[in-house]
């Protein structure tokens, strides 16, 4: 019987805003101006570059960024360097906007929970199921959960940059299970990445995958979790 559930963050419980929303927010805050026709084109270029954390993967990682990209979730500095490096592949009206874009993606307002996230997390809490969040990330996502009212349903957070280890390394999942006093064989890992989240199977965890889609396009992708947990 499953007694513990581990969730990924981006693409699983939360989805980041669109690249265009991301860019418009930063341009507005900075008082920078792009011709209206250029906004959508620049947002598309940033998305293709993979510059928005939690958004699309890069179409191509430049050779000079390949090492950073592979290790990006192992520290806050590596994460920022990798994503601002990708962002700088796209010209912007002010070079300072690349750092501003990175800062924006860490704001709670840049994220929205999937429509069924609250129902699933609150039901698990009612059933006495302990919950952990295991994320490959370079910054503290706890304020996002607090701002959206989901922090009360999470018992522990295991974030790659705080441990210097990234999924699929089983040590990250083992850390979460230890923090929850959970037997990995009675633990379900829920995520959107088979290569990364599938690493939990090395410990004996079962896994359930969801599709990494915009929140409005995946209204009930998490609900099957409730049928998998006793």
Task: Express each pLDDT in 165-189 by its tens digit.
Answer: 999 999 999 999 999 999 999 999 9
Q: Binning pLDDT at 50, 70 and 90, where does residue 37 land?
A: confident
Are 191 and 219 a contacting pair, CB within 8 Å? Answer: no
Question: What whole-number distance in Å separates Cα of residue 64 and Cα of residue 85?
Answer: 9
Inform me whether the pLDDT recorded for 1 exceeds 90: no
CA distances from 95 to 55, 89, 107, 167 (A): 21, 11, 20, 32
What pLDDT does 33 receive? 84
Mean pLDDT of all residues in 63-84: 98
- The mean of the pLDDT values for the chain is 97
Mean pLDDT of all residues in 206-221: 96
pLDDT tens digits, 119-152: 999 999 999 999 999 999 999 999 999 999 999 9
From-to residues of CATH 3.40.50.1000 in the chain: 4-15+111-228
Inform me whether the pLDDT recorded for 109 exceeds 90: yes
Residues 6+ apart with CB under 8 A from 194: 209
pLDDT tens digits, 83-104: 999 999 999 999 999 999 999 9
Q: Domain 4-15+111-228, CATH 3.40.50.2000 — does that match? A: no
Please report, rounded to a whole number, the percentage of residues in the chain having pLDDT higher than 90: 96
């Amino acid at each position: 019987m499953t007694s513990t559930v581990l969730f990924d963050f981006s693409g699983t419980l939360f989805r980041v805003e669109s690249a265009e929303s991301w860019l418009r927010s930063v341009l507005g805050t900075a008082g920078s101006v792009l011709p209206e026709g250029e906004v959508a084109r620049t947002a598309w270029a940033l998305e293709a570059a993979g510059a928005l954390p939690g958004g699309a993967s890069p179409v191509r990682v430049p050779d000079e960024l390949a090492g950073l990209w592979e290790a990006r979730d192992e520290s806050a500095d590596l994460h920022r360097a990798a994503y601002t490096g990708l962002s700088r592949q796209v010209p912007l009206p002010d070079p300072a906007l690349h750092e501003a874009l990175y800062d924006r993606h860490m704001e709670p307002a840049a994220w929205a929970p999937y429509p069924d996230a609250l129902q699933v997390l609150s039901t698990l809490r009612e059933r006495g199921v302990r919950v952990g969040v295991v994320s490959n990330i370079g910054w503290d996502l706890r304020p996002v959960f607090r701002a959206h009212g989901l922090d009360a349903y999470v018992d522990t957070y295991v974030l790659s940059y705080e441990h210097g280890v990234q999924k699929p390394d089983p040590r990250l999942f083992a850390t979460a299970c230890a923090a929850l006093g959970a037997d990995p064989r009675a633990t379900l890992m829920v995520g959107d990445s088979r290569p990364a989240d599938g690493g939990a199977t090395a410990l004996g965890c079962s896994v359930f995958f969801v599709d990494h889609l915009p929140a409005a396009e995946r209204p009930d992708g998490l609900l099957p979790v409730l049928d998998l947990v006793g």
